[in-house]
Amino acid sequence: MDQLPEFCSRDNSVVMKEIFGLQTSFILHGEDADKLRLQTLSEEAAVRKFYAVEIWSRSHVACLLFVSLNQKLLGKLTHYNFYSLLALRYLMAQPLTSQRDVETVGSKGVIKRNEYVRIITRALYSLDYNMTADLLQEESRIPLDSPELMLLKKQVLDGNWEESVKTLCTISLLDKATLSLASFLILEQKFLKFLRMDNNVLDALNVLRKEIVPLGINLNRVHELAAWIISPSGYRNTDQGTKSAKSEILEKLLKFLPPSLAIPPTRLESIVEEALDLQRGACLFHNVFDSDLSLYPDHQCGRGRLPSSIKQILQVHTDEVWFLQFSHNGKYLASSSKDHSAIIWQVMNGGKVSWKHTLIGHQKPVLTISWSPDDNQLLTCGEDEVIRRWDANSGQCLHVYEKTAVGFISCAWSPDGRVILAGMTNKSFSLWNVNGAELDCWEENTLRISEMTIIDAGDMIVSICRGNTIVFLDWEEKRCQKLIQEEEVITSFSLSKDKKFLLVNLTNQEIHLWNLEGYPQILARYKGHTRSRFIIRSCFGGCEEAFIASGSEDSQVYVWHRGSGKLIQALDGHSGAVNCVSWNPVNIYMLASASDDGAIRIWGPDPRMDQLGLGFESCRWR
Residue 244 has a CB neighbour count (10 Å cut-off) of 8
Do both 357 and 480 map to the same domain?
A: yes
Do both 278 and 326 map to the same domain?
A: no
Question: Is 274 a domain residue?
Answer: yes
The yes-or-no verdict on residue 57 having pLDDT over 90 is no
Do both 515 and 435 map to the same domain?
A: yes
Bridge partners (DSSP) of residue 381 are 368, 387
Given pLDDT bands bounded at 50, 70 and 90, which one contains residue 615?
low
Per-residue pLDDT averaged across 419-433, rounded?
87
Do both 330 and 204 map to the same domain?
A: no
8 Å CB contact between 550 and 569: no
Three-class DSSP category at 154: helix
Q: What is the domain extent for residue 161?
A: 111-229
Do both 420 and 464 map to the same domain?
A: yes
- What does the pLDDT read at residue 131? 96
- What does the pLDDT read at residue 455? 80
The yes-or-no verdict on residue 503 having pLDDT over 70 is yes
What is the C-alpha to C-alpha distance for residues 358 and 146, in angstroms, rounded to an integer? Answer: 73
What amino acid occupies position 408?
A: F
- What does the pLDDT read at residue 514? 95
Question: Is 101 a domain residue?
Answer: no
Do both 324 and 467 map to the same domain?
A: yes
The yes-or-no verdict on residue 284 having pLDDT over 80 is yes
Given pLDDT bands bounded at 50, 70 and 90, which one contains residue 49?
very low
The CA distances from residue 332 to 112, 146, 299, 324, 446, in Å, are 54, 60, 32, 11, 35
Do both 288 and 324 map to the same domain?
A: no
Which of 292, 312, 345 finishes a domain? 292
Do both 177 and 256 map to the same domain?
A: no
- What does the pLDDT read at residue 580? 97
How confident is the model over 115-145, as pLDDT tens digits?
A: 999 999 999 999 999 999 999 999 999 999 9
Given pLDDT bands bounded at 50, 70 and 90, which one contains residue 509?
very high
Burial class (CB in 10 A: 0-12, 13-18, 19+), 412: buried
Do both 457 and 531 map to the same domain?
A: yes
Given pLDDT bands bounded at 50, 70 and 90, which one contains residue 391?
very high
Per-residue pLDDT averaged across 541-560, rounded?
96
- 258-272, 285-299, 368-382, 469-483: range with lowest mean pLDDT: 469-483
Name every residue whose Cβ is closer than 8 Å to that of residue 385 and which is 6 or more positions away in sequence. Answer: 362, 363, 364, 407, 408
Question: Is 139 a domain residue?
Answer: yes
How confident is the model over 600-614, as pLDDT tens digits?
A: 999 999 887 655 555
Per-residue pLDDT averaged across 15-36, rounded?
39
Question: Is 586 a domain residue?
Answer: no
The yes-or-no verdict on residue 63 having pLDDT over 60 is no
Per-residue pLDDT averaged across 32-55, rounded?
42
- What does the pLDDT read at residue 426? 82
Given pLDDT bands bounded at 50, 70 and 90, which one contains residue 555?
very high
Question: Is 302 a domain residue?
Answer: no
- 50-54, 381-385, 419-423: range with lowest mean pLDDT: 50-54
What amino acid occupies position 419?
A: V
The yes-or-no verdict on residue 24 having pLDDT over 50 is no
- What does the pLDDT read at residue 83? 44
What is the C-alpha to C-alpha distance for residues 554 and 578, in angstroms, rounded to an integer? Answer: 8
DSSP state letters, 312-335: EEE---SS-EEEEEE-TTSSEEEE
Per-residue pLDDT averaged across 183-203, rounded?
87
Per-residue pLDDT averaged across 266-280, rounded?
93
Helices H / strands E in the chain, number of each: 16, 33
- Note the helical H segments in 568-618: 607-611
- What does the pLDDT read at residue 329? 96
Per-residue pLDDT averaged across 87-107, rounded?
58
Per-residue pLDDT averaged across 82-99, rounded?
46
Looking at per-residue confidence, does 276 or 442 come out higher?
Answer: 276
Burial class (CB in 10 A: 0-12, 13-18, 19+), 434: middle
- 45-49, 99-103, 208-212, 496-500: range with lowest mean pLDDT: 45-49
Which of 229, 244, 265 finishes a domain? 229
Question: Is 446 a domain residue?
Answer: yes
Bridge partners (DSSP) of residue 358 are 343
Question: Could you tell me what percent of the chain has a pLDDT over 90?
Answer: 55
Name every residue whose Cβ is closer than 8 Å to that of residue 187 and which is 6 or more positions away in sequence. Answer: 161, 165, 207, 211, 212, 215
What is the C-alpha to C-alpha distance for residues 509 and 516, in angstroms, rounded to an integer? Answer: 22
- What does the pLDDT read at residue 613? 54
Do both 225 and 256 map to the same domain?
A: no
Q: In what order do the strands lie in the sheet with 557-561?
A: 538-541, 547-550, 557-561, 567-571
The yes-or-no verdict on residue 331 having pLDDT over 60 is yes
Which of 514, 538, 562 finishes a domain? 538
Domain tally, the chain: 3
Question: Is 206 a domain residue?
Answer: yes
Do both 359 and 500 map to the same domain?
A: yes
Looking at per-residue confidence, does 196 or 156 come out higher?
Answer: 156
What is the C-alpha to C-alpha distance for residues 594 and 368, in angstroms, rounded to an integer? Answer: 12
What is the C-alpha to C-alpha distance for residues 335 and 499, in angstroms, rounded to an integer? Answer: 23
What CATH number did the domain enclosing 332 receive? Answer: 2.130.10.10
End-to-end CA distance of the chain: 71
What is the C-alpha to C-alpha distance for residues 429 and 449, in angstroms, rounded to an integer? Answer: 8
Strand ranges in 348-498 using DSSP code E only, listed in sequence order: 353-359, 366-371, 377-382, 387-391, 397-401, 408-413, 419-424, 429-433, 438-442, 452-455, 460-465, 469-474, 479-485, 490-495
- What does the pLDDT read at residue 404? 86
Given pLDDT bands bounded at 50, 70 and 90, which one contains residue 50?
very low
Given pLDDT bands bounded at 50, 70 and 90, which one contains residue 454?
confident
Backbone φ and ψ for 265, nearest 5 degrees, come out as -55, -30
Do both 338 and 211 map to the same domain?
A: no
- What does the pLDDT read at residue 194? 87
How confident is the model over 220-253, as pLDDT tens digits?
A: 999 988 988 887 665 655 566 688 889 999 999 9
- What does the pLDDT read at residue 30? 46
Report the range out of 91-105, 361-375, 416-430 with the highest average pLDDT: 361-375
- What does the pLDDT read at residue 59? 44
- What does the pLDDT read at residue 54? 42
- DSSP-assigned letter for residue 87: H
The yes-or-no verdict on residue 427 having pLDDT over 60 is yes
8 Å CB contact between 408 and 382: yes
- What does the pLDDT read at residue 237? 55
8 Å CB contact between 397 and 407: no
- What does the pLDDT read at residue 238? 57
Question: Is 397 a domain residue?
Answer: yes
Model confidence pTM above 0.85: no
The yes-or-no verdict on residue 44 having pLDDT over 50 is no
